[in-house]
Amino acid sequence: MLALREYLQSYHSYPGIKIIEWKKREGMVDVPARDLPEILTYCLDMRPRPIWLTHVVNDERQLGNGFCVYLVLHFPGKDFSLTLVAKGIKDKFPTLSLIFPALNWSEREAQDLFGLQAVGHPDPRPLVLHPGWSQDFHPLCKDYKAGQDRKAFKRQPLVFPEMHGDGIFQVSVGPIHAGIIEPGHFRFYAIGEPVLHLEAQLFYTHKGVEKLLEGKSIEEGLQIIERLCGVCTVSHSLAYCEAVEKLASVEVPRQVLLWRTILAELERVYNHVGDIGNMCAGVGFALGNANGAQGKEKLQRLNSDYFGHRFLRGMVVPGGLKSIPGAKDRKDLLNRLLVLSDDFEDWIPLLQEHDGFRQRAVTAGILKTDVALDMGVTGPAARASGLANDWRELHAYLLYAELNVKSIVRQDGDAWSRLMVRVKETRESFRFLNTLLREAMQGPELDDEKLTALAGKKIRLLTPAWGCVESPKGTEVIWLMLDDEGKIYRCRIRSASYANWPAVPLTMPGNIVPDFPLINKSFELCYSCCDR
């Protein structure tokens, strides 16, 4: 990373560029907003190419900094994360989407929620706020008080691009669907069955969570973060706790790390098994779907029996864990997991060797490697397209360094690859759980004081920190900044689904309309934590 540091120091506007912090793993650099595009271009030219962790816009006008843009990049292989900060933005900032399309949504969101203008943005349509909100409604600005503009919304029709030509027609689907799924509107531009273009309109479940978090205490914040969506509770709360622990400079004891790893892997297993089953529903394969649903249910009951919650909610707290199972429960947990792992191995060949299923999934919805890279795709979707970006390998947090996690990579980028990545990761996770629980069985009983280490620690205020976790859907990043009273000043949630959703429509052209459910399910993205 020395080269990067030297580049920044010798940059022509230096000392406009100010290196605030440069440690072994993390750095933070103050950059004038107008220099961001050039510096980002330099970073993106480095090999291996950096990935984006999060892009945060923050209203720091009360602190005298104007609006600020924080861009967190990670340099794989070197395990170094760099935060570029552009302060003093008044009402516009130069767009980075042209250089790095992954930031497209994030910048559009900043336009909606802060009223800033991303100059030169290729697609400046509103994203989060649907048509019908007044022009000066920018809820994330500090001078906006929640609830005051609730009645200002006048429903207006959604605006979509037009497409003309012989035999082209539009198929609009949703936001209300025939099944029990979350709301999203999809518009297909098709000639007969083959799709030319797909527009996805999300953010129907935008609840203003980031605004809601402002002014909340750390504990209240955790409760909201845990409820962002149903399926990635542990990952969300782990990312949040990591950010808090960074601010409080807390070293978490090994026993806590161990159980946190177990929780994270339990979450991955039940999600992956359920997602594999759901893909079968996408092709109408009843037997596979039934097996997946059954496996997921058994794993969730196991969660409920030993951790008190089907979604493992309420386990992770800043600095520690709420409780951990006793010695006898640990043994039972391991035994039950071994049985479930055997179950999984029993039914998975049913899919792997199913000609009809392969027929549907192979070559369906190909996500090319360079597209995945440009769009900043994460999780199984990225790994199926040849990107080895498992955060457990890149950063090796918790106990993943000891487990020696390797990204499971496939090259084809189709629905089948995404399925196979999940299958292999589930196997790996069962193996990790086996190792971890065997260690846990030898571990001592813990009393609760040891588990909550945060009390009495001094927390750094008005300093940004981020936590990052590999959830079943991909890399989750939570960026946190506390105000001078220790309440949340700004909390930005970049969920894996948020990073992946923009890539889904790009995989559709060339496929036929009836293949969309399968392709969509092979990404298996969450609407709730994307829309927030």
Partner 1 sequence: MDESLMVLTRLLMGLGHLALFLVAAPLLQGFIKTSKAFWQMRQGPSILQPYRDLRKLLNKEELISEHASWMFLLTPRIALVSTLMAALVIPNAWGWAPLSGWGDLFLFGASLGLVRLFSTLSGLEGASTFGGMGSSRELFVGLLTEPALLLGLIVLAFITGTTSLQGMTSGLVTISPIFIPRLLVLIALVMVSIAEMGRIPVDNPDTHLELTMIHEGMLLEYSGTSLALLSFAEQVKQLLLLCLLAQIVWPSGLISASDGLLGLLWALGFAGVKVAVLGFFFATVESFFVKRRLFLLPNYLATSTAAAILALVSLWFIRGQI
**Residues lying near partner 1 in the complex (CB under 8 A):** 169-173, 177-180, 192-193, 280-287, 289-291, 294, 354, 356-357, 359-360, 512-517
CA distance 338 to 333: 9
Looking at beta carbons only, is 14 or 169 nearer to partner 1? 169
Using CA atoms, how far residue 163 sits from 116, 392, 428, in Å, is 30, 43, 46
Minimum distance from residue 170 beta carbon to partner 1 (Å): 7
Residues 6+ apart with CB under 8 A from 494: 53, 54, 55, 106, 476, 477, 478, 479
Looking at beta carbons only, is 197 or 487 nearer to partner 1? 197
Longest dimension (CA), the chain: 72
CA distance 433 to 427: 10
| 234 membership: H or E segment, kind and range | helix 233-248
Residue 214 has which token pair?
Answer: 């402002």
Minimum distance from residue 356 beta carbon to partner 1 (Å): 4
CA distance 89 to 100: 20
Minimum distance from residue 181 beta carbon to partner 1 (Å): 8
Looking at beta carbons only, is 296 or 330 nearer to partner 1? 296
CB 174 within 8 A of CB 520: no
Residue 73 has which token pair?
Answer: 């990049």
CB 254 within 8 A of CB 442: no
Terminal C-alpha separation, the chain: 35
Looking at beta carbons only, is 235 or 289 nearer to partner 1? 289
Looking at beta carbons only, is 67 or 189 nearer to partner 1? 189
Minimum distance from residue 269 beta carbon to partner 1 (Å): 20
| 394 membership: H or E segment, kind and range | helix 391-394
Minimum distance from residue 353 beta carbon to partner 1 (Å): 12
Minimum distance from residue 176 beta carbon to partner 1 (Å): 10
Minimum distance from residue 174 beta carbon to partner 1 (Å): 9
Contacts for 240-243: CB closer than 8 Å, 24+ residues apart: 240/318, 240/467, 240/478, 240/480, 240/491, 241/316, 241/317, 241/318, 241/319, 241/467, 242/397, 242/466, 242/467, 242/468, 242/469, 242/478, 243/465, 243/466, 243/467, 243/478, 243/479, 243/480
Minimum distance from residue 284 beta carbon to partner 1 (Å): 4
CA distance 36 to 85: 9
Strand partners for 467: 478
Quick check: helix, strand or coil at residue 72? strand
- Which DSSP string corresponds to 157-223? --------STTEEEEEE-SS-SSS----EEEEEEESSBEEEEEEE--TT---HHHHHTT--HHHHHH
Looking at beta carbons only, is 77 or 356 nearer to partner 1? 356
Minimum distance from residue 76 beta carbon to partner 1 (Å): 37
Using CA atoms, how far residue 47 sits from 65, 110, 221, 499, in Å, is 33, 29, 37, 21
| 106 membership: H or E segment, kind and range | helix 104-114
Looking at beta carbons only, is 246 or 422 nearer to partner 1? 422
Minimum distance from residue 520 beta carbon to partner 1 (Å): 9
Minimum distance from residue 505 beta carbon to partner 1 (Å): 14
- Beta strand 26-30 with 80-89 is parallel
Minimum distance from residue 116 beta carbon to partner 1 (Å): 37
Minimum distance from residue 515 beta carbon to partner 1 (Å): 7
Looking at beta carbons only, is 410 or 521 nearer to partner 1? 521
Looking at beta carbons only, is 347 or 400 nearer to partner 1? 347
Looking at beta carbons only, is 289 or 429 nearer to partner 1? 289
Looking at beta carbons only, is 280 or 530 nearer to partner 1? 280
CA distance 478 to 4: 25
CA distance 26 to 39: 17
Of 342, 324, 340, nearest to 439 (Cα)?
Answer: 324
Looking at beta carbons only, is 98 or 171 nearer to partner 1? 171
Of 255, 290, 286, 262, nearest to 274 (Cα)?
Answer: 290
Looking at beta carbons only, is 218 or 283 nearer to partner 1? 283
